Protein backbone atom coordinates (compact mmCIF):
# COMPACT_ATOMS: atom_id res chain seq x y z
CA UNK A 1 0.00 0.00 0.00
CA UNK A 2 1.26 3.45 -0.85
CA UNK A 3 0.20 6.51 1.13
CA UNK A 4 0.78 10.06 -0.04
CA UNK A 5 0.32 12.88 2.45
CA UNK A 6 -0.09 16.47 1.36
CA UNK A 7 0.08 18.95 4.20
CA UNK A 8 -0.48 22.71 3.87
CA UNK A 9 1.36 24.35 6.72
CA UNK A 10 -0.18 27.78 6.18
CA UNK A 11 -3.76 26.67 6.87
CA UNK A 12 -2.83 23.40 8.66
CA UNK A 13 -4.88 21.15 6.42
CA UNK A 14 -3.87 17.95 4.73
CA UNK A 15 -5.01 15.20 2.45
CA UNK A 16 -4.08 11.52 2.29
CA UNK A 17 -4.13 9.51 -0.92
CA UNK A 18 -4.02 5.72 -0.65
CA UNK A 19 -3.22 3.30 -3.45
CA UNK A 20 -2.78 -0.43 -3.51
CA UNK A 21 -1.65 -2.69 -6.32
CA UNK A 22 -1.72 -6.41 -5.84
CA UNK A 23 0.80 -8.48 -7.71
CA UNK A 24 -0.67 -11.38 -9.66
CA UNK A 25 0.51 -14.29 -7.48
CA UNK A 26 -0.56 -13.46 -3.94
CA UNK A 27 -1.91 -15.32 -0.97
CA UNK A 28 -5.39 -14.26 0.21
CA UNK A 29 -3.91 -12.96 3.46
CA UNK A 30 -2.00 -10.28 1.53
CA UNK A 31 -5.18 -8.29 0.80
CA UNK A 32 -6.85 -8.59 4.22
CA UNK A 33 -5.24 -5.47 5.79
CA UNK A 34 -6.24 -3.32 2.81
CA UNK A 35 -9.81 -4.66 2.82
CA UNK A 36 -10.09 -3.97 6.56
CA UNK A 37 -8.84 -0.41 6.02
CA UNK A 38 -11.45 0.09 3.28
CA UNK A 39 -14.18 -1.36 5.50
CA UNK A 40 -13.40 0.95 8.43
CA UNK A 41 -12.71 4.11 6.41
CA UNK A 42 -16.17 5.58 6.30
CA UNK A 43 -17.26 9.20 6.60
CA UNK A 44 -17.67 10.13 10.23
CA UNK A 45 -14.88 7.85 11.48
CA UNK A 46 -11.53 9.24 12.59
CA UNK A 47 -8.20 8.24 11.08
CA UNK A 48 -4.95 8.65 12.96
CA UNK A 49 -1.59 9.03 11.23
CA UNK A 50 1.39 8.08 13.39
CA UNK A 51 4.79 9.22 12.18
CA UNK A 52 8.00 7.46 13.23
CA UNK A 53 10.30 9.03 15.76
CA UNK A 54 10.45 9.60 19.49
CA UNK A 55 8.82 13.04 19.39
CA UNK A 56 6.66 12.63 16.30
CA UNK A 57 3.11 13.89 16.77
CA UNK A 58 0.02 11.88 16.01
CA UNK A 59 -2.31 13.48 13.49
CA UNK A 60 -6.03 12.76 13.71
CA UNK A 61 -8.56 13.70 11.08
CA UNK A 62 -12.21 13.09 10.42
CA UNK A 63 -12.76 10.90 7.34
CA UNK A 64 -14.80 12.89 4.83
CA UNK A 65 -14.86 10.41 1.92
CA UNK A 66 -15.10 6.63 2.12
CA UNK A 67 -12.71 4.26 0.36
CA UNK A 68 -15.33 1.82 -0.86
CA UNK A 69 -14.66 1.13 -4.57
CA UNK A 70 -17.40 2.09 -7.03
CA UNK A 71 -19.95 -0.69 -7.43
CA UNK A 72 -19.26 -2.27 -4.03
CA UNK A 73 -21.86 -2.42 -1.28
CA UNK A 74 -21.03 -0.63 1.98
CA UNK A 75 -20.13 -3.82 3.87
CA UNK A 76 -18.56 -5.74 0.97
CA UNK A 77 -14.93 -4.99 1.90
CA UNK A 78 -15.50 -6.41 5.40
CA UNK A 79 -17.18 -9.49 3.90
CA UNK A 80 -14.18 -10.16 1.62
CA UNK A 81 -11.67 -9.45 4.42
CA UNK A 82 -13.40 -12.03 6.64
CA UNK A 83 -13.64 -14.55 3.77
CA UNK A 84 -9.96 -14.20 2.80
CA UNK A 85 -8.90 -14.36 6.44
CA UNK A 86 -10.85 -17.62 6.86
CA UNK A 87 -9.40 -18.98 3.62
CA UNK A 88 -5.86 -18.16 4.75
CA UNK A 89 -6.43 -20.17 7.92
CA UNK A 90 -7.59 -23.15 5.86
CA UNK A 91 -4.65 -22.93 3.42
CA UNK A 92 -1.36 -23.03 5.28
CA UNK A 93 1.50 -21.53 3.30
CA UNK A 94 3.52 -24.22 1.58
CA UNK A 95 6.37 -23.78 -0.87
CA UNK A 96 5.59 -24.64 -4.46
CA UNK A 97 6.22 -28.22 -5.45
CA UNK A 98 9.12 -28.74 -7.88
CA UNK A 99 6.72 -29.56 -10.73
CA UNK A 100 4.85 -26.30 -10.12
CA UNK A 101 8.08 -24.34 -10.63
CA UNK A 102 8.73 -26.01 -13.98
CA UNK A 103 11.17 -28.58 -12.56
CA UNK A 104 10.91 -32.34 -12.89
CA UNK A 105 10.69 -34.49 -9.78
CA UNK A 106 13.89 -36.46 -9.11
CA UNK A 107 14.20 -39.73 -11.03
CA UNK A 108 11.93 -38.74 -13.93
CA UNK A 109 13.38 -39.00 -17.38
CA UNK A 110 12.87 -36.35 -19.98
CA UNK A 111 10.12 -37.26 -22.33
Tens digits of pLDDT across the chain (111 residues): 777 878 788 887 777 787 777 767 777 777 888 889 889 888 888 888 777 777 877 778 888 888 888 898 888 999 989 998 888 777 665 554 444 445 444 555 555
pLDDT at 91: 67
| Residue ranges of E strands in 1-111 | 2-8, 13-19, 46-50, 58-62
Tell me the pTM: 0.62
Question: Do 3 and 16 contact (CB within 8 A), yes or no?
Answer: yes
| Residue ranges of E strands in 10-111 | 13-19, 46-50, 58-62
pLDDT at 94: 56
Amino acid sequence: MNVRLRYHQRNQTGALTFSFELGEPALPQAVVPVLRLIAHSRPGHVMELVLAGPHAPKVQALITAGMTPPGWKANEAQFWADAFDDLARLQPHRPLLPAARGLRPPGRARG
